[in-house]
Amino acid sequence: MHLLCRDEPDLLEWEGDVLDARPGAVLLAQSPVFPGGGGQLPDVATARWDGGEAAIVGLTPDPRGWWHGLAGAALPSGRVRVSIDPGPRHLMCELHTLAHVTNAIVFRSFGGARLTGAQLSADGTFRVDFDLPEVDPDRLRGLAGPINAVIAADLPIRAFHMPWDEAARVPGLFRSENVSPPRQDDGNVRIVEIGDLDRQGCGGTHLASTGEARRVRILKVDNKGRHNRRVKVGFEA
């Protein structure tokens, strides 16, 4: 099912008619809410209608649209306005963009190293894990310089769609060891492109350009098993 946030990450409000409802959930034709996934946290969002409001606590696809789970047992009717908290949304866009930049630099610098995990955090940090069995940790601690150079270059970011099967045959479009980007109902996959630096399948939200991100520093480099190397990244003070 299509999510508005994937093509319009700056869309923070959307209003639609109730298609169906049950205590604690309402079905709407569309949703601007990012439900979480791929290491990205879900949006902080609220549903409001005539006579009530509730926090949105989950999103479930339905052939008719999206079920929005609500905190409590409210039963909305009429029209519902969905509002996204802009602070957490922007932070996730920023962190996800920086995670892609980090991934791209490691992929280029370490012979196509595969991503083994990623997590964006509400505290303004993120971590990315790579299959790098024999690498000097100091090389990973030096990633802040190249990442900040990409931020300074203010590279444009765009998303487009291509057939999933075609994308799966292109080296480097699918980077993860464990998961693949979601196949859409139409058989396509969403590709996120960062200037001439990076292009890979992704279902999350991003900034419009790398220059919108804050400068970063490497907080920690850990060994997580024989092959896995974890890099934790945060913003400069």
pTM of the model: 0.94
Average pLDDT, integer, range 147-175:
94
Read off the tokens for 14.
Answer: 């959307």
Q: Which residues pair with 47 in a beta bridge?
A: 54, 82
How high is the pLDDT of residue 93? 97
How high is the pLDDT of residue 182? 79
CA torsion angle 230 97 116 126 (round to 10): 30
Residue 2 has pLDDT above 90, yes or no: no
Average pLDDT, integer, range 24-43:
96
Residue 177 has pLDDT above 80, yes or no: no
User: Residues near 112 by Cβ (< 8 Å), separated by ≥ 6?
Assistant: 171, 172
Which of 65-74, 133-142, 216-225 tops mean pLDDT? 65-74
pLDDT-above-90 percentage for the chain: 84
